[in-house]
Structure formats: structure tokens, C-alpha cells
Amino acid sequence: MVRSRPGTPRPRVEGLTGTFPARATRPPGELLAVLRALFDTRNEGEILRLAMDHVSAVGPYRAEAGYLRVNGQLVPDQQGGPNQASGVDRTVRELAGQDGPVAVPGRSGGQALALHGPGGLHGYLVVTSRSRPTHAQHFLLATLVRLTAAALSVAVAHRRQQEDALELHRLRRERATLQQRLVSLAVKAGYQRAVHDALTEAAAAGGGEETITSALHELTGFPVLVEDRFGRLRSWTGPDRPDPYPEPDPVRHEEMLHEVARRGGPMRVKDRLISLVRPRGEVLGVLALVDPQGDADEYTVFALEHAATSLALELSHLRHLAEVELRLRRELVDDLLGGTDEASAYARSEAFGHDLHRIQYVVVVQWRSRVVDDAFARTVGRAASAVGMPSLVARRSDHVVLVAEGRPDDHALYEMLARETGTPDGTIGVSARCDTPDGIPGRYQEALRALEVRRRSRSRYGTTFFDDLGLYRILGPGNDHQELEGFVREWLGQLLDYDGLHRAALVETLSRYFDCGGNYAETAESLAIHRSTLRYRLQRIREISGHDLTNVEDRLNLQVATRVWKIMLGGPG
């Protein structure tokens, strides 16, 4: 059914009604008012309804039904009666756009009048007449039909114009949106090209990490930082660098790395936008922008990702070079420790910037809590460089070896490694000076001896120099432990047997007595016994061993024996 728009009042023509007049036709002025009303409305349903309401104005006619063409289908007006609708609808549709008679039950003279316009069929007007119309009345009806069709054509044209205008507006909106997107894409492409060019130029300049971070800082305006795998600062570009830089929490730092890796892209952590430096899946560090206000946009994120890729390639390349250099250095150190010709040693060391013409010292490092692998060797090498000790570094199964220029500081390397590893449980042995490369193998044995003496001493962690060993020089690796055991049995055997049988501590008392320089008070205090008890024990030592503590020769041998027993044979302390 054809319906008018909700809330739209139906047009009425003043002075006209829908009833049959007493005379044959209405005055021409009233018909003109109907025609004006037809063309004043732009609603097709209202035009059809207005024509139907005033068909009686042109003769003995009655409007029985009206149809409008909607989406190619004829839709009946709601005034059609339910009993007649089916037959009338079928007849109207069968006319296929032509005028023709229509049988309307209870009515006479039924006909369907097609409402044609330039665009084709607009609909139908179905009328009946209770009497035979005159020629003039028939003409007026035909005129009303043509004008109704014309008004529908105008309304259809107006509607289509509005639809076209809406479609044009939509297309213009879409065009504006598309233009904006194109502009945005052009800007983005331009920025990406600028990022690519800047970072490519930085990489080509050969400045390494610093040029990449500087380029990222210039592109984004944010401070840029690089941390190593463990959260320690490598570099900072831009203002507001913290001083000192906060120490990382290892557990939280590891959790953060896992979370960023899981996300697969830059991630905000507090005031930073973080991207992993991860070539081939291995995390080498973190590249971050400091952005406390959260101002970073998609362009910033793109620049950060691109810089992280460039930095990953740079750090991967540096690691490869470091691994190659470490291997070559290790081979050189292996050759120096095993003995090699001086000309080759000098030439190869110069390639690494190490001056073998200077006085050298061999240093061995052992840390209880660290596996001796390449990573620990690199840690030792970095620590040596940090304390101003140029070195060639290699590793053995349980220790790291350094061939160092100049005499090392007494404690600097140990303290630096204690900070790097997070534990003081390390031992360092340092050889005597070496003037030529051919003396390095012997100096290596001296460093091992110093390490072993320190490791077996009461204070096993720290640094020991071979030059400071004194008598202990004869107690290191290379000596026959069987002979040492025989020497100890010769001088302390009776005391050891007595201690084992009676659960006494005469050998320990004698050792402590020598350590305290023969001072009764100090010895008694260190053993937490009374001086009279000490005198009794010393007397028992004389009696059981048969050695005189006042005799210089006996005293020296007993002191050496107690040292060997304690340091080399695993005695108490």
C-alpha cells in the first residue's frame, strides 16, 4: 500500500470535497486549485491520494484504488477494499502499463488509468462512474490523470535529485576521507623513507651504536638509551640522563624481557617505550625511548622498531667480530703459554694492539660460582680493561688466563670482578714479571702456584702474587706430593698419630704457635685457651715428637711441615 510520510498532513483543496456534486463538474477555479496542490507537494503517495480524493471534481467518478510503482512493483493504495483488492490487483498488473477496463464488484464503468511520465509508468488510478460521463467530463478526467502523472514525474525527479544529492554528498565525503588517507599515507611513507634514509646513513657512517641512537633521537626528539642484556646502561643520547644510573633488579628485568618478547613489538614500561635488540631471536639488549608523558605516536613507534633492527645488525656484527677476535686472542695466548717463537708472538700481538715488548704478567682467575665459558672469559676481559689492565685473554677448563701488560694492581681486578659477578667467591693468582715471551710458560706455572696457595689458605678469596709467596713457592703445582707427605710424616708423624688417637690438636697448636711468631699470649688467644694450657701442650709436643723448638734447624723444619700439612695436604684451617 502507498502511505504518506508520518506526520505529513494530507493536502486538501479549499472548497472541494470527495462527494459527487449536484451538477456535472466543478467550477474551473476549483479544478485549478486541485492542480496547484498536485504540483505543490513532492510526496508521491500524497499526490496519488490527492488525485483520488478529488476525482469526483471532474465528473460522476469515484476513485476505487490507486497504485504506485515502487522498485519495479505496483504497490496498491490502502483505500482499496479487502474484497475487491485481489481481483483488481490482478487485472491492473495484467494491463502492463496500458489503460483498460476493471471489474470492481458493486460498481459500474470501472477502468484503470495508467499514470505515465517521461521515466515510464508511475502507477495507476482505478475509477468507476455511476453514470455515463459526458465528453467534457471524460476530457477533464484524462487531463487530471495526465497532470497527476506529470506531478508524479516532478516528485520522482525531485526525489531522485535529493537521492542524487545525498549520493553526491556521500561520494564527496568518501572522496575527502580517501584524500585524507592518501595524504596520511603519503606523510607516513615520507616519514618512513626519512627514517630509513637517516638510519641507513648512520649505519653507513660507521659510527656504530652511537650514530644509530643519535639518529633516532633527532628523528623522535625523545631521549634514547641502550641497555645490555642484564639491564646495565650502555649508552644514553639526549637530556636528563640519571646519575647514577639505577642498578637493575635481575628478576624483574628478566620478567620484563620475557613480556616484551611475548608481545613481539615495542611495549610501554612505566615512562619508557621499549624494543628488544634481538637478532635471530637472541636478546642482545634493549633500545628504549624515554617518554614520561606518553606522547609517542605511530611514527615514533616505527622509528624505534627500525632503529632496533639497525642496532641488532650492528651489535650482532660487533659480537661476531668480538668472537673472532676472542678466538684469535685465545689461540695466541695458548701458543704463548705453550711456548712459541718470539717473532710470531710479537707480530700477532701487535695485530690486537697488545705490546709484548713491555713487561708482562700472567694472571689466572677462578670464581667458584661461575662456569668457565666464553661469557665468563669476556667478563674477565672487560673487568681487566675497566681497571686499566690491557690483556690477552684465554680460558682453561676451570680458570681464565690473562697475559697482562704491566704489574696488576693488588686488588682492583678482584674488586671489579666481585661487582660484575655479584659474589666475592673468587681467587686470583699473579706471576712474577716476565721480560720476554719465552718466559711466559714458566710464569703461567707461577700464577697457578699462587692461585693454589691462596685457594688452600685460610683466606681463600682474593689476589695472591707469586712474589709474595716466599717459602710457599716450593709448595705449588709441579712438586711431588708424595715427597711432601713423606716430609710431613718425618717431622709431624708422631704428633698426627697422637692427635688421631686421642682427638687432640697438638699439630694445630704447633701451627698456630708458628703463625703467631712464637708469642704465647697471641697463640693462646687465637686458640681460645689459657697460657698455662698452651705451655702444657708445647711441652707434650716436645716429648712426643722428640724435637726441640729452641733448635733453629728443628724449628724451621717443623714450621715448614706444618705449612705443607695445612696448605697442601688439607690440614685444618
CATH number at residue 158: 3.30.450.40
- The CATH number of the domain where 220 resides is what? 3.30.450.30
Buried-exposed string 157-194: b where 16+ CB fall within 10 A, e elsewhere: eeeeeeeeeeeeeeeeeeeeeeeeeeeeeeeeeebeee
In a domain, 203, yes or no: no
- The CATH number of the domain where 504 resides is what? 1.10.10.2840
- The CATH number of the domain where 388 resides is what? 3.30.70
Q: Of 453, 475, 497, at which residue does a domain stop?
A: 475
Q: Which of 353, 356, 328, 336 is nearest to 444 (CA)?
A: 336
In a domain, 302, yes or no: yes
In a domain, 57, yes or no: yes
How much is the pLDDT for 482?
Answer: 65
Question: Mean pLDDT for the chain?
Answer: 82
Considering only 304-313, 334-343, 466-475, 513-522, which range has the smallest mean pLDDT?
466-475
Mean pLDDT across 429-442? 91
Instruction: Give the tens place of pLDDT for each residue, 148-188.
Output: 888 888 888 888 888 888 888 888 888 777 767 766 666 66
In a domain, 32, yes or no: yes
**Same-domain check for residues 219 and 306:** yes
In a domain, 12, yes or no: no
Beta carbons within 10 angstroms of residue 460's beta carbon: 14
**Same-domain check for residues 374 and 309:** no
Instruction: Give the tens place of pLDDT for each residue, 111-140.
Output: 999 999 888 898 999 999 989 999 988 998
Cα three-residue angle 178-180-184, rounded to 5 degrees? 115
**Same-domain check for residues 77 and 140:** yes
Confidence of residue 365 (pLDDT cuts 50, 70, 90): very high
User: Which grid cell sits at 205?
Assistant: 657512517
Mean pLDDT across 318-342? 76
Q: Which residues, including other chains, have CB under 8 Å from residue 43's CB and lie 6 or more apart?
A: 4, 5, 8, 155
In a domain, 186, yes or no: no
In a domain, 172, yes or no: no
**Same-domain check for residues 367 and 293:** no
Q: Which of 289, 295, 258 is nearest to 274 (CA)?
A: 289
In a domain, 199, yes or no: no
How many domains does the chain divide into? 4
**Same-domain check for residues 152 and 239:** no
Considering only 159-163, 312-316, 481-485, 542-546, which range has the smallest mean pLDDT?
481-485
Instruction: Give the tens place of pLDDT for each residue, 440-476.
Output: 999 999 899 889 888 877 688 999 998 877 556 555 5
**Same-domain check for residues 510 and 454:** no
**Same-domain check for residues 460 and 379:** yes
How much is the pLDDT for 5?
Answer: 42
Percent of the chain with pLDDT over 70: 85
**Same-domain check for residues 288 and 381:** no
How much is the pLDDT for 522?
Answer: 92
**Same-domain check for residues 495 and 435:** no
| Helices assigned H by DSSP within 369-461 | 374-386, 412-421, 440-456
Q: Which residues, including other chains, have CB under 8 Å from residue 51's CB and lie 6 or more apart?
A: 38, 63, 66, 125, 144, 145, 148
**Same-domain check for residues 443 and 517:** no
Domain housing 277: 209-319
Mean pLDDT across 80-96? 72
How much is the pLDDT for 384?
Answer: 93
Question: What is the C-alpha separation between 183 and 299, in angstroms, rounded?
Answer: 15
**Same-domain check for residues 460 and 358:** yes
User: What are the Cα distances from residue 465, in Å, to 19, 121, 165, 363, 449?
Assistant: 131, 114, 96, 9, 9
* Predicted confidence (pLDDT) at residue 314 exceeds the cutoff of 80: no
Judge whether 477 and 448 are in contact, CB under 8 Å: yes
How much is the pLDDT for 481?
Answer: 60
How much is the pLDDT for 188?
Answer: 64
Task: Pick 242 or 570 by higher pLDDT.
Answer: 242
**Same-domain check for residues 235 and 294:** yes
User: Which grid cell sits at 218?
Assistant: 633527532
Task: Pick 422 or 77 by higher pLDDT.
Answer: 422
Q: Of 164, 180, 195, at which residue does a domain stop?
A: 164
Percent of the chain with pLDDT over 90: 26
Question: What is the C-alpha separation between 107 and 247, in angstroms, rounded?
Answer: 103
Q: Which residues, including other chains, have CB under 8 Å from residue 197's CB and lie 6 or more apart?
A: none
